[in-house]
Amino acid sequence: MLGSKGGVWGLAVSGLVLMAAANADGAFAKEKVKIAFVGPLTGSNSQHGIGGRNSAELAVKLKNADPATKYEYELVALDDECKPNVAVQVVTKIASDNSIVVAVPHYCSAAAIATVDIFHRFKLPMVIWAAVLPQITYAKKVPEIHRVSGTLIGQNRVGAQFMKERGYKTFVSFADSTDYGKSMNEYFTKFTNENKNEILGAFAVPPDQQDVSAELTRIKELNPQVIYFGGLTPLGTRVRTQMEKLGITAQLEGNSGIMGDAFISAVGPELAEGTLTFFDSPPLSKMPGGKFFSDNYTKAGYTQSPEAYGPFAFAATNLVMEEIERVGPNRAKITEALGKVKDRPSIIGPITFDDYGQNITPLTTKYVVQDGKWTIWEESEYATGKRKLKNLP
Amino acid sequence: MSSIAQYLLNGLMQGTIYGLVAIGFTIFFGVMNVIKFSHGDVLTFGAFGGLVAAWAATALGFPIWLELVFVVLISVMASAAIGAIIARGLVLPLKDAPPLNMLLMTMMVGTAIRECIRLFFPNGTNPQRFPELLPSGGFDLSGVYFRYDGLILIAAGIAFIFAVQWIINRTRLGLAIRAVAEDGETARTMGINFTLTVAIAFAIGSMTAGVAGALYGLYYSEINYSMGLILAIIGFSAAIIGGLGNIWGAIVGGYLFAGLQTAVVALLPALSDYKNVIALIVVVALIAWRPTGLLAERGSERV
């Protein structure tokens, strides 16, 4: 009864509940903002792509869990298969979707270099999470292009110096025939020559070539102390496996392309033992936010490894969300804000973009496989002399 | 000198795989005048069948020798079964259709097989690690490194080539296949079961793909859903160079193609990226020179 005491109380309570619900609704009705992630989610490099996707997704989940954020973020993950033609299609799709305000794209350089102009044409800002080809940022000044990972120049400079210090003199280069592999070979050649070492031969094969025994037979004939490999994990796996089949005992020197658990699990710990690589980041345990990242990654229940570039994907995604929080979900404003990023704290260390959008702070670190794990050179038994690299003079 | 021997040894392994694929093409063409472009994907199907068999054998705790036998057997049977199904369900009903339709149909079937593996096999888009079931290691002889698994696989591949040749030329089944290849109508009037013989011939042709798939997995320790594509192109080229319809021609073509690829890398290492392109250009030149192949098909002796 409306006139009764109970009825009045009932109405009052109902009113309060409705008001509270309306308020609560208002508090949670944040504007939804879409961020695109692009990487190889299928194909032979998908372990890296999925690790990157999971890491970017984790950054979004953690941000959305923070009640202080202004927006609710949604990650749109797309597969570029590490193929330039697929990457062009995928990026055109996200760039023409106005609800997507920023992108975190590309593991493979061959895919990344193909899409630079599309990001520019559609004025879609982006922060690359892994691809290391220098030309992506340095070929020309494109305001939309940024990269948290390093370039392959630093890796090759450090690598060449390191090999000289160990006393190695003769090398053979084995790279894939993509822009990435060509660039790897170019900088390997440049720095090896600067260190007055000798390159006995250079080989380039398509990244999907299965049989490399003919090339390796020629390399065996040349008898180098070191085989330098400039390519990605699938081809690197074949090179290492088939080196063994042909009885080649040269030291294998890799780069960021084979960095990650995928290489070791594909060739097995015995064959991977002693493989060297140079990568623009210390291990997770030594990163400023490494523990935070790995604890949350484990807690989120991902079964796949984040791989070497997962933390970079996390940092890139976090960075773009920070900029959206500051300037709003507007492509032009985000582009402008990203251009001014300097000494920004992140789990991979402070991020500073130069005039070309390139992060200039990565720390190139030397790694060697020891007992089935990538180990920092300085902490390995190889550095102490307990174990020895192959073909040491 | 030792390097030349090493190149030959590597080329021998590749040539054996190419030759096996080429034999399949030659049998299909010899029996039914069909260019079966799904052959490479049948190879992939066999290799994935072998991988599943390896997983099952490991789960069942088979000893390694039995696992090896099981893997090869399942690879061969899977390829043979799908080859026979394609023959019975598609090739025979379409035997009077224009050749272009048949070509298109086999391409579509191949695409369907490939896509099914990609979509429905667990992690089908990713390369799959094939178990190493043969003895590892090897020995060095005058600078040539002989790997035990390579030698076993080359011997097994060549033995299978001879077995197919023996079945076709020395058995009653082979006689029936050759009779059907020569003249299907006359073979029927002689009491040969045309439909069954064609299906068996396609199964035998597809078995060669199964063996090639198993060899490939065991040698490279990795298989992937698209591996049959390039192998089909090379196998078909090899069959054409040798003379489509002639088994020995297919084998010669297979080894010749592998030899061309190896020679490019050995002689012009800077052009190793172009080895397939150069080998295929030589194929075009050879076809222009001898359109019926190096070992031309003899009218009275098909397959």
| Structure confidence by residue, pLDDT tens digits, A78-123 | 999 999 999 999 999 999 999 999 999 999 999 999 999 999 999 9
Q: Which of A316, A244, A266, A268 is nearest to A58 (CA)?
A: A316
Taking the mean position of all CA atoms in its chain, how far away is CA B165? 14
At B145 the pLDDT is 81
Average pLDDT over residues A124-144: 96
Q: What is the DSSP letter of A380?
A: S
| Interface contact B272-A202, CB threshold 8 A | no
Chain B residue nearest residue A210, CA to CA:
B220
Q: Tokens 């065991």 appear where?
A: B218
At A172 the pLDDT is 97
In total, the C-beta contacts within 8 angstroms joining chain A to chain B are 75
Q: Do β-strands A170-176 and A198-205 pair in parallel, antiparallel, or remain unpaired?
A: parallel
Residue ranges covered by each domain of chain B: 2-229
The model's confidence at residue B32, banded by pLDDT at 50, 70 and 90, is confident
| Interface contact B126-A234, CB threshold 8 A | no
At B245 the pLDDT is 80
Residue B57 amino acid letter:
A
Distances B93 to A380, B26, B206 between C-alpha atoms, Å: 67, 21, 19
* Three-class DSSP category at A228: strand
B250 in Cβ contact with B25 (< 8 Å): yes
| Interface contact A213-B125, CB threshold 8 A | no
At B302 the pLDDT is 54
| Interface contact B7-A217, CB threshold 8 A | yes
Angle of helix B247-267 versus helix B227-242 axis, rounded to 10: 110
Is A205 in CB contact (< 8 Å) with chain B?
A: yes
Q: What is the DSSP string of A297-322?
A: HHHTT--S--TTTHHHHHHHHHHHHH
Is residue A245's pLDDT more than 90? no
CATH number of A31-150+287-362: 3.40.50.2300
**Range picked from A29-33, A124-128, B238-242, B264-268 for highest mean pLDDT:** A124-128
Ranges of H-type helices in chain A = 5-28, 46-64, 84-95, 109-121, 135-138, 152-166, 179-194, 213-222, 233-245, 261-267, 269-272, 290-299, 310-327, 331-339, 381-384
At A143 the pLDDT is 97
What do you get for the CA distance between the two ends of chain A, in Å? 99
Residue ranges covered by each domain of chain A: 31-150+287-362, 153-279+366-384
The Cα angle at residue B105 between residues B102 and B108, in degrees rounded to 5: 155
Region of poorest pLDDT, from A41-45, A164-168, A370-374: A41-45
The model's confidence at residue B137, banded by pLDDT at 50, 70 and 90, is confident
A56-94 burial code (b ≥16 CB/10 A, e <16): bbbbbebbbeeeebebebebebbbbbbbbebbbebbeeb
| Pair of tokens at residue B108 | 């579509």
The complex's ipTM works out to 0.71
Shortest Cα distance, chain A CAs vs residue B49, angstroms: 20
At A393 the pLDDT is 86
B245 in Cβ contact with B33 (< 8 Å): no
Q: Which of B173, B174, B159, B166 is nearest to B302 (CA)?
A: B174
Q: Which of B1, B2, B6 to mutate to test the interface with A (most CBs of A within 10 A)?
A: B6
Q: What is the DSSP letter of A359?
A: B
At A24 the pLDDT is 47
Average pLDDT over residues B83-111: 90
A198 in Cβ contact with A170 (< 8 Å): yes
Q: Which of A81, A180, A218 to mutate to test the interface with B (most CBs of B within 10 A)?
A: A218
Average pLDDT over residues A43-56: 91
* Mean pLDDT (chain A, rounded): 91
Is the CATH number of domain A153-279+366-384 3.40.50.2300? yes
| Interface contact B272-A204, CB threshold 8 A | yes
| Interface contact B129-A266, CB threshold 8 A | yes
Is residue A4's pLDDT more than 80? no
Percent of chain B with pLDDT over 90: 57
pLDDT tens readout for residues B62-87: 999 999 999 999 999 999 999 999 99
pLDDT tens readout for residues B185-208: 899 999 999 999 999 999 999 999
| Interface contact A177-B273, CB threshold 8 A | yes
Is residue B296's pLDDT more than 70? no
At B265 the pLDDT is 84
Show residues of chain A in contact with B221, CB under 8 Å. Answer: 241
Q: Which of A187, A191, A272 is nearest to A230 (CA)?
A: A187
pLDDT tens readout for residues B5-25: 888 888 899 999 999 999 999
Of A215, A217, A247, the CB nearest to B3: A217
Which residues lie closer than 8 Å to A281 by C-beta, 6 or more apart?
A: A150, A287, A308, A311, A312, A348, A362, A363, A365
Residues 265-294 of A with CB under 8 A from B: 266
Whole-model pTM above 0.90? no
Is residue B123's pLDDT more than 80? no
